[in-house]
Amino acid sequence: MKKRINVNARKEAQEFVEGTLNFGEYEISEAGNVITAHGNAHRDLPNRILSSTVWRVQISLLFCFCLYVPSLLGQISADIPLNQKIGAKFNFTYYFDSRDYNTFNIFTGVKHLPGGLEYWGFTDIHAAQSDATHRFDFTRYFMEYRLIYTIHPEWVNGLKGYELEAEFDDSGQVNALLRFGVTYKHSIPLPWQTHGGLRWRIHPYESDGNGYQASLLYSLPLTAKVKITGFADYNVVENAENRWVIEPQLTWKLNGYLNIRLEFRYNGFENATKNLDGSGIALGFGFLS
């Protein structure tokens, strides 16, 4: 596999408690992790995102099969009511980044799937960085999708909050990546008499054999309409410097369908790449389904 692009712009803080490829010329850092788009490559973006190859289909099938056996076990356990309805959520957010590019984020979450599975994921479509004239022209993307299976407490001596997780990342035709690991989530009391949530994750296996990842995700409500969410990913990379990817976010819910987000973004992979700035602030306007 060629050197991968690992721009982990995760948005898992969205509802987690309840539950770039570049299409033209590119630049790669010494660690071989990040690119930036140039030229008119964005014209081919829709066709390239929708195109598929045999190997990509095979990876997707493997990803879905990874939790097939525990899914059957969960179905048999009857721990999940048979009449529980599947719940789906779709969020759309448009961001204006201080580094002169825009991002369109599509978030999808589905709960109570057969076998006790939960599906979660997002796609970020970005314009090229530091190009204010073309900040509305999308040239690159990153997508991340997960299958999550809750480990039943009776299987682990009564312990609650543990999950198995399989993650599929993709930022281009030669940059697909699978991760497998375990998560632990729990609530925490806050001084203003409410509760927040934390999720700790470890992905010891990556399909490219290039390291592993540990993460902390959090959701901390301040009021009924304002909350702080975010994540911190620590990426261990073989034969290169380890990198942080961090995104705390302040969200103000205007009503049942609209919100405003203020997000700080730090990406250690971008920061190590020539002609890219790894730090920025983004203002987003979201629509909730």
HSE-CB at 1 with a 13 A cutoff on CA atoms is 19
pLDDT of residue 52: 43
Nearest one of 217, 219, 188 to 200, comparing CA atoms: 217
pLDDT of residue 173: 60
* Cα(63)–Cα(10) distance, integer angstroms: 19
pLDDT of residue 182: 96
Q: Is residue 2 part of a domain?
A: no
Q: Is residue 30 part of a domain?
A: no
Q: How confident is the model at residue 162 (pLDDT cuts 50, 70, 90)?
A: very high
pLDDT of residue 168: 94
Convert the pLDDT of each residue in 225-257 to its tens digit. 999 999 999 999 988 899 999 999 999 999 989
Q: Name the residue type at position 90.
A: F
User: How would you label 52-65 residue by residue, b for 16+ Cβ within 10 Å and e otherwise?
Assistant: eeeeeeebbeebee
Give the C-alpha distances (Å, rounded to integers) separating 237 from 124, 184, 210, 260. Answer: 23, 23, 6, 35
Q: Is residue 77 part of a domain?
A: yes
Q: Is residue 19 part of a domain?
A: no
Give the C-alpha distances (Å, rounded to integers) separating 194 from 40, 227, 255, 289. Answer: 50, 12, 20, 25
Tell me the mean pLDDT in the region 111-120: 88
Count: domains in the chain = 1
Residue 70 phi/psi, 5° resolution?
-60, -25
Convert the pLDDT of each residue in 117-131 to its tens digit. 999 999 999 999 988
Q: Is residue 31 part of a domain?
A: no
Q: Is residue 95 part of a domain?
A: yes
The model carries a pTM of 0.73
Q: Is residue 236 part of a domain?
A: yes
* Cα(283)–Cα(261) distance, integer angstroms: 6
Q: Is residue 3 part of a domain?
A: no
Q: How confident is the model at residue 4 (pLDDT cuts 50, 70, 90)?
A: very low
Q: Which residue range(s) make up the domain with 141?
A: 41-288
CATH code of the domain covering residue 194: 2.40.160.40
